């Protein structure tokens, strides 16, 4: 059932990376059937009509799979609904007269580009430093040539669900990127295809992560904020693999 | 993406990678490795806290038995090694673990602070204008860096009080822990301080004894559900045991009225200790 509500918005406005930002207040009338981003679209249209600068906010797929749309909504990454990206959040989560504070994801390594848009490219740098497997190109091999236990496949799939949105870092009181990095490591380390580069990859991706982000204290806020509900188990898995990578000499890994 | 990853816009690292130290010291250079050290030293400290608590339960057997327990700690390994050597090695180990635990905690926190610089970082965590509704992080996990220093301060007070006898003055009898404990904890402010500090300790353990499993990568769906229960029970056990001492003293269940070797009647430490030894032999 749809209903018209009026929400009081308090939105972070910042011209560029080096300028100081401030909160601006707006009110917006909207149907509860609208998505959160549609509500912002309406507001932007009005700002545009008044000759004012619209609010910059990122979005692409608007179906919860690309990971661009994250913002903090009332102090929660991607807003109040569990396992939901900002684009999949609907105005029915709010009531008439609510104040909604919208601010960018914050972390030292996520500089604000403009308004609510932050630069999450340190994630790309973590991926660049090892988030791949090497396979020979050429004729495609037969499907299911490499047997994978169902449990491992499921678990790897869960890890691969990470959309790289950065909510984990934003929600973390330490600005740590453990959840993202461990998900990116686990979806390969759990599968046979990821074994060849497993240890080198772990060392190198964790190394890059530590250049940019804080140190995990196992609060668990990342998991709660994560729209894909990535499990904290992957963080423990990463910690274990990292120590193994550092301590063992892989030249003799065939030796029992 | 092409724009943001091209050299010009590339976000600069907050920390430069340093030259790697030789193994195994290089482990301590990385945050994950340092956290591992924090967890391992944490386990060592947990072991100490547990044994210390259990050992102190001897106080309920009276002054003579308590004296005997203290002596047996000093006599550990004697006959093979010089007296007190093992005790001193244990103390040295504890000091090293404590120092590493503290150093890793402080430096890792600093790393998190630096990683949150364009955010508001207050009281050990990042703040948002829209308030921050914590969902998973509990009070214990968010107060580790307050409970930790309370424990450190308490530890210093505790050593100065019952090991070095700074505050008991003439009332302090080296080698008669029952008497010292009674003299100290029978003062109400001291009892209250002990209660508060041990609540902080239990609080710290409540998060720490779970967190260490994650830091060490001890994680398996088979037993994961047991980890929080383990941490809570461990913290509860320590709390119960340690709180009993100030409370029982205040309730006069630990007192010196019935004591055979009355400290006031005897002259000097040697006589008191001799009396306690005799009492043990007569038993
Ligand atoms: C000077 C006193 C102490 C300070 C400043 C201190 C500080 C800390 C800090 C900041 C953490 C990290 C918390 C987190 O990950 O969120 C921690 C973890 C821990 N502490 Fe302490 N601590 C102290 C004493 C102790 C003592 C006496 C024990 C033992 C009973 C202990 C056991 C632990 C354990 C088991 C952990 C978990 C390590 C991990 O997360 O991997 N700590 N401590
Ligand atoms: S782990 Fe979750 S919160 Fe973090 S980047 Fe991936 S999808 Fe987003
Ligand atoms: S716009 Fe793609 S996840 Fe929200």
Instruction: Out of A65-79, B66-80, B256-270, give the one with best mean pLDDT.
Output: A65-79
Q: How far is the alpha carbon of A140 from chain B, nearest alpha carbon, in Å?
A: 29
For A133-159, the pLDDT digits (tens) are: 988 888 888 888 889 999 999 999 999
For A3-21, the pLDDT digits (tens) are: 999 999 999 999 988 888 8
Tell which wins on pLDDT, A153 or B256: A153
pLDDT at B175 (0 to 100): 86
Could you tell me the fold of the domain covering B31-277? 3 helical TM bundles of succinate and fumarate reductases (1.20.1300)
Which among A165, A186, A229 is the best mutation to test ligand 2's pocket, defined by most ligand atoms within 8 Å of the CB? A165
Domains and CATH numbers, chain A: 4-113 (3.10.20.30), 120-247 (1.10.1060.10)
The tokens for A193 are 């295809």
CA B200 to CA B197: how far, in whole Å?
Answer: 5
pLDDT at B2 over 50: no
- Distance from Cα A182 to the centre of ligand 2, integer Å: 10
The tokens for A116 are 């609510």
| Per-domain residue ranges of chain B | 31-277
Mutate to test the interface with A, among B32, B33, B209 (most CBs of A within 10 A): B32
Beta carbons within 10 angstroms of residue A149's beta carbon: 11
The tokens for A91 are 């105005």
The tokens for A119 are 């630069």
Mean pLDDT confidence for B205-226: 95
Contact predicate B182/B249, CB 8 Å:
yes
Q: Which residue has the tokens 């396979």?
A: A135
CB-based pocket (< 6 A), ligand 3: A 59-62, 64-69, 85-87
Q: Which residue has the tokens 């504070």?
A: A101
Chain A residues lying within 8 Å of B118, measured CB to CB: 106-108, 110-112
CA B101 to CA B38: how far, in whole Å?
Answer: 5
CA B166 to CA A229: how far, in whole Å?
Answer: 54
* Local confidence band at B122 (pLDDT 50, 70, 90 cut-offs): low
Contact flag B112-A210 (C-beta cutoff 8 Å)? no
Query: CA separation (Å) from B176 to A165, B39, B98, B270, B276?
Result: 62, 35, 27, 10, 9
pTM of model > 0.90: yes
């Amino acid at each position: 059932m749809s209903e018209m509500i009026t929400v009081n918005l308090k939105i972070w406005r910042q011209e560029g990376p080096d300028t100081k930002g401030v909160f601006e207040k707006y009110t917006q009338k909207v149907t509860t059937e609208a998505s959160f981003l549609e509500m912002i679209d309406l507001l932007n249209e009005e700002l545009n009509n008044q000759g004012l600068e619209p609010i910059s906010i990122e979005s692409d797929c608007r179906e919860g799979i690309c990971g661009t749309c994250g913002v903090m909504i009332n102090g929660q990454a991607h807003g109040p609904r569990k396992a939901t990206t900002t684009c999949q959040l609907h105005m029915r989560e709010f009531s008439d007269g609510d104040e909604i504070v919208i601010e960018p994801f914050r972390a030292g390594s996520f500089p604000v580009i403009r308004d609510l848009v932050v630069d999450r490219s340190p994630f790309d740098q973590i991926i660049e430093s090892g988030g791949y497997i090497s396979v020979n190109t050429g004729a495609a091999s037969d499907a299911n040539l490499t047997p994978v236990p169902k449990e491992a496949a499921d678990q790897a799939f869960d890890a691969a669900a990470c959309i790289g949105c950065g909510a984990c870092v934003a929600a973390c009181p330490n600005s740590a990127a453990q959840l993202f990095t461990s998900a990116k490591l686990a979806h390969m380390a759990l599968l046979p295809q990821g074994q060849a580069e497993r240890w080198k990859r772990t060392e190198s991706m964790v190394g890059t992560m530590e250049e940019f982000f804080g140190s995990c204290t196992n609060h668990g806020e990342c998991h709660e904020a994560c729209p894909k509900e990535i499990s904290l188990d992957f963080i423990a898995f990463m910690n274990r693999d990292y120590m193994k990578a550092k301590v063992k000499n892989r030249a003799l890994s065939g030796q029992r | 993406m092409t724009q943001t990853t091209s050299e010009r816009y590339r976000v600069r690292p907050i920390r430069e990678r340093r030259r790697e130290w030789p193994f195994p010291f290089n482990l301590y250079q990385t945050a994950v490795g340092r956290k591992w050290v924090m967890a391992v030293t944490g386990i060592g400290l947990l072991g100490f806290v547990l044994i210390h608590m259990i050992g102190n339960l001897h106080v309920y057997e009276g002054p003579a038995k308590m004296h005997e327990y203290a002596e047996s700690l000093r006599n550990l390994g004697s006959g093979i090694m010089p007296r007190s050597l093992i005790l001193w090695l244990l103390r040295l180990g504890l000091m090293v673990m404590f120092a590493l635990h503290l150093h890793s905690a402080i430096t890792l926190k600093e790393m998190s602070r630096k990683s949150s610089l364009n955010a508001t970082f207050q009281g050990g965590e990042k703040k948002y204008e829209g308030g921050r509704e914590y969902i998973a992080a509990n009070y214990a996990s968010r107060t580790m860096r307050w409970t930790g220093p309370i424990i450190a301060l308490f530890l210093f007070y505790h050593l100065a009080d019952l090991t070095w006898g700074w505050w008991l003055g003439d009332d302090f009898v080296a080698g008669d822990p029952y008497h010292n404990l009674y003299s100290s904890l029978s003062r109400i402010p001291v009892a209250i301080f002990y209660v508060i500090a041990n609540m902080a300790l239990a609080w710290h353990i409540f998060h720490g004894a779970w967190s260490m499993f994650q830091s060490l990568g001890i994680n398996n769906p088979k037993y994961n559900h047991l980890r929080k229960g383990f941490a809570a029970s461990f913290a509860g056990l320590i709390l119960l045991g340690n709180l009993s001492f100030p409370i029982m003293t205040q309730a006069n269940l630990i007192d010196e009225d019935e004591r055979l070797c009355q400290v006031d009647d005897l002259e000097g430490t040697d006589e008191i200790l001799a009396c306690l030894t005799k009492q043990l032999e007569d038993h």
